[in-house]
């Protein structure tokens, strides 16, 4: 009886161990799997950081390259003005002097992109103030290669095209401005951009697009008098819409527009036809 009881106990122990072994082995596998997964995630994280670092270096390299190209462009503009016997703007004269003295920085060691854009804007403004719109356009256009989303820069470029009567080239600039401003941009800038675009469309004979642009200017600011006046002219002179012209001019006068006398005169002429 004693021996039978002992064999039963040993058998139970063996069965217990047999059942327990897979469980213990399974736990080890789970731990190993978790460890591998953590190592994989850590490796991916390091690779991602490494890639971001490489991208940042590449971006910095490109920015330095563009800055150097802009300095070269400015110097080329200076040489062009010299050949034409024109005086150099202060910023351009300073850069040329640094070049002559050998003080110009090495490629990639120039100003930061932001500083380069600021210098270009100053230079463009100086050309603009001297009515040299072609040079201003060249400088502003170069600056957009760095600051592609600078609304203020595109506004300067657009005005320069208008001043030089290059209306077809001004149109995409103001379309870009409106896109950058979005539907919820500053009211004053948005209404002005739509109004300018409407005027440009009118100059190019794109009257239906001009009408839509003026309406959008009014939608941006229902009390923007200039858009009503321009819309009245468009209806009267180009779209043969006398009723629309009357309504637009009347609204312009109600808002106290600066050309109220001219608007009143046109109203009288329309009603007497």
Q: What is the DSSP string of 153-179?
A: HHHHHHHHHHHTT-HHHHHHHHHHHHH
Query: What average pLDDT score do residues 35-55 get?
Result: 70
**Residue 223 — φ and ψ, nearest 5°?**
-110, 20
Q: pLDDT band at residue 229, thresholds of 50, 70 and 90?
A: very high
Q: Are 67 and 116 in contact (CB under 8 A)?
A: yes
pTM for this model (two decimals): 0.63
Block residue for tokens 């072994």: 21
Q: Where are the beta strands (DSSP E) in 66-198?
A: none
Lowest mean pLDDT among 57-61, 145-149, 252-256: 57-61
Q: Are domains 43-165 and 168-273 of this chain identical in fold?
A: yes
Query: What average pLDDT score do residues 96-105 get?
Result: 56
Domain ranges of the chain: 43-165, 168-273
Q: Which CATH number fits domain 168-273: 3.40.47.10, 3.30.40.10, 3.40.50.1580, 1.25.40.10?
A: 1.25.40.10
| CATH match of 43-165 with 3.40.50.450 | no
Question: How many angstroms separate the Cα of 226 from the Cα of each of 139, 249, 257?
Answer: 30, 10, 7
* pLDDT over threshold 50, residue 121: yes
Lowest mean pLDDT among 103-107, 163-167, 204-208, 248-252: 103-107
* pLDDT over threshold 60, residue 23: no
Q: Which residue has the higher pLDDT, 91 or 245?
A: 245
The reported pLDDT for the residue numbered 96 is 62
The reported pLDDT for the residue numbered 1 is 46
Q: Are 158 and 178 in contact (CB under 8 A)?
A: no
Q: Which residue has the higher pLDDT, 54 or 181?
A: 181
């Amino acid at each position: 009886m004693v021996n039978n009881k002992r064999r039963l106990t040993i058998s139970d122990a063996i069965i217990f161990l047999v059942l327990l072994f897979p469980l213990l082995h399974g736990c080890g596998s789970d731990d190993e799997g978790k460890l591998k997964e953590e190592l994989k995630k850590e490796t991916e994280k390091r690779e991602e950081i490494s890639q971001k670092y490489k991208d940042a270096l590449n971006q910095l390299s490109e920015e330095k390259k563009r800055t150097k190209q802009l300095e070269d462009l400015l110097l080329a503009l200076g040489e062009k003005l010299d050949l034409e016997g024109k005086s150099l703007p202060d910023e351009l004269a300073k850069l040329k002097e640094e070049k002559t003295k050998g003080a110009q920085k090495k490629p990639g060691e120039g100003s930061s992109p932001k500083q380069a854009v600021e210098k270009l804007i100053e230079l463009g403004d100086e050309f603009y103030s001297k009515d040299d719109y072609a040079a201003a356009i060249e400088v502003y256009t170069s600056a957009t290669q760095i600051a592609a989303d600078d609304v203020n820069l595109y506004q300067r470029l657009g005005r320069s095209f208008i001043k030089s009567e290059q209306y077809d080239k001004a149109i995409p600039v103001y379309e870009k401005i409106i896109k950058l401003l979005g539907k919820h941009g500053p009211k004053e800038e948005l209404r002005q951009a739509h109004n300018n675009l409407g005027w440009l469309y009118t100059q190019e004979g794109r009257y239906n697009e001009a009408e839509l642009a003026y309406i959008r200017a009014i939608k941006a600011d229902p009390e923007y008098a200039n858009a009503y006046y321009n819309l009245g002219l468009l209806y009267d002179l180009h779209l043969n819409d006398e009723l629309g012209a009357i309504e637009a001019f009347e609204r312009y006068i109600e808002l106290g527009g600066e050309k109220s006398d001219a608007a009143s005169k046109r109203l009288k002429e329309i009603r007497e036809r």
